[in-house]
Amino acid sequence: MKSIYGYTREKLQDFLQALGQKKFRGTQIYEWIYKRWATSFSEMTNINKDSLDELDKNFVFKFLEIETVQISSDGTRKYLFRLDDNNFIETVLMRHNYGYSICVSSQVGCNMGCSFCASGLNKRQRNLETHEMVLQVLQVNNLLREEAIKVSHIVIMGIGEPFDNYDNVVDFIKIVNDPKGLEIGARHITVSTCGIVPKIYEFSELSLQVNLAISLHFPNDELRSKHMPINKAYGIDKLMEALNYYYQKTNRRITFEYILLDGINDTIEIAAQLVKLIRGVNCYVNLIPMNATSGPLRRSTKKATDSFYNYLVKNGINVTLRHEHGHDIDAACGQLRIKREESKCEGKS
C-alpha cells in the first residue's frame, strides 16, 4: 500500500475517482491530514464508512523514526531520521529573524561527488520517495506545535541532488505549497541543483514560482570539473545558457551558491572571473563558509573571505555572506548520517 503523504492533491483526486470515489474526497483528506493533523482515516468524521474502508485498503499512515537530534547553541536542530529500510537521512531546522527554515534531503547519499561535500562521501543508495520528503517537514512541524511555531521556509539542499530525483521533488513541492496541504508559499521554497542542465530546462516550464539556487562554487571549467564532476557533462557555458533560458521563462532571480575554499577559489583573480561570468545576470551570490569535513579542503581565512566579498560588492554584484548555523554540531551536510552509518558498521564487526 502507498503512503497517503506521497500524493499531490491532483493525483489523489484522480486515484480516488478511479476507485469510484468523489473527487472532493481528495480535498477532504488533505484538510484532515495537513490542517487537522489526523493520523488515521478513522478520525475523518465527515467521510462515510464505506469510503473509509476503501481508503484503509489502499493507503497507510507511516512516519519516520527520529534516531538522533542535535541542538546547537544558536537554536539550529539537526534531525537524523531512520527510514523503513534502515537507511538514514538528515533534516535541519534553522531559526532566522524572518522565521524558521527547514533543509530537506532528497536522496539517501549522493552521486554527484563534489569534493567539498560530506553528502557525496557515501554514494547514492536510492532516491527518497515523495512521502519521505513530505514527512521531514510534517514531523518537524508537529514537534514545533508545542512551541507555537511552525516551518515558514523550505530549502531542498540536504543530502542528495534534487534534480537527480526530479519527479518526486516536484511532487513534494506541490504538496507543501498546496493551500490545502502545508501551505508554504512558493517564494518561501528554494530548490538547489549543482547543474543538471536538462532538468533546469524542464524546471523552467513549470508554473511553480519557487526559487532556484545553483551550486556554482567555481567560475571556470578547470576548477569546476576538478571539484564537481557534473561539470564534465554540463560545462559552465551550457549551464549559463540554461539559466538564461530559465530567467527568460520565469523572470525569477537566480541564486549562485559559492563555498569559499582556502587557496582554491577565494583569490581576487578568481573573484574577477566570477564577476565576468555573472555580470548582467539577475542574480545574487551567496558566499558560504565551508564546514569542516574529514577531507583535505579547508575554509577560507577571514581576510580572504572579506577581500572576496568586498571585490564583488565594488563590482556591482549582489552578494551575501551566509550566516553560519549549527557550527558547534555536525554542521556539514551528511556528516551526522555518515557517523551513524560508520557506528552501525562497527557494531556488526
**Looking at the predicted structure, is the pLDDT value of residue 336 above 80?**
no
Rounded Cα distance between 170 and 175, Å, is 9
pLDDT tens per residue, range 274-311: 999 999 999 999 999 997 666 789 999 999 999 999 99
Q: List the beta bridge partners of residue 155.
A: 103, 190
Active site residues: 90, 333
Cα–Cα distances (Å) from 117 to 11, 66, 239, 259, 297, in that order, read 35, 23, 20, 10, 10
Is the pTM here over 0.95, yes or no? no
CB-facing half-sphere around the CA of 108: CA atoms within 13 A: 17
Rounded Cα distance between 39 and 91, Å, is 21
Rounded Cα distance between 102 and 92, Å, is 6
**Looking at the predicted structure, is the pLDDT value of residue 344 above 60?**
no
Kindly provide the residue ranges of all beta strands, DSSP E only, lying in 8-116, ordered along the sequence: 59-60, 65-71, 77-82, 88-96, 99-103, 107-108
pLDDT category, 146, cuts 50, 70, 90? confident
pLDDT tens per residue, range 1-28: 899 999 999 999 999 999 899 999 999 9
pLDDT category, 333, cuts 50, 70, 90? low
Pairing, β 283-289 against β 153-156: unpaired
pLDDT category, 323, cuts 50, 70, 90? confident
> Are the beta carbons of 231 and 225 closer than 8 angstroms?
yes
Average pLDDT in the 133-149 region?
A: 95
Per cent of the chain over pLDDT 90 is: 85
Q: Which domains does the chain have, with CATH numbers?
A: 2-60 (1.10.150.530), 65-348 (3.20.20.70)
Report pLDDT for 322: 83
Question: Between 197-204 and 236-250, two packed helices, what is the crossing angle to 10 degrees?
Answer: 10
pLDDT tens per residue, range 264-273: 999 999 999 9
pLDDT tens per residue, range 72-108: 988 899 999 999 999 999 999 999 999 999 999 999 9
What are the cell numbers at 139? Answer: 514531523
pLDDT category, 349, cuts 50, 70, 90? very low
What are the cell numbers at 257? Answer: 551558491
Report pLDDT for 296: 85
Q: Of 131-135, 319-323, 344-348, give the lowest mean pLDDT range.
A: 344-348
Residue 15: Cβ-neighbour burial (10 angstroms; 0-12, 13-18, 19+): middle
Other Cβ atoms less than 10 A from the Cβ of 347: the count is 7
pLDDT tens per residue, range 188-217: 999 999 999 999 999 999 999 999 999 999
Residue recorded with cell 520528503: 133
DSSP state of 34: I
Q: In residues, how long is the chain?
A: 349
Rounded Cα distance between 237 and 82, Å, is 40
> Are the beta carbons of 243 and 200 closer than 8 angstroms?
yes
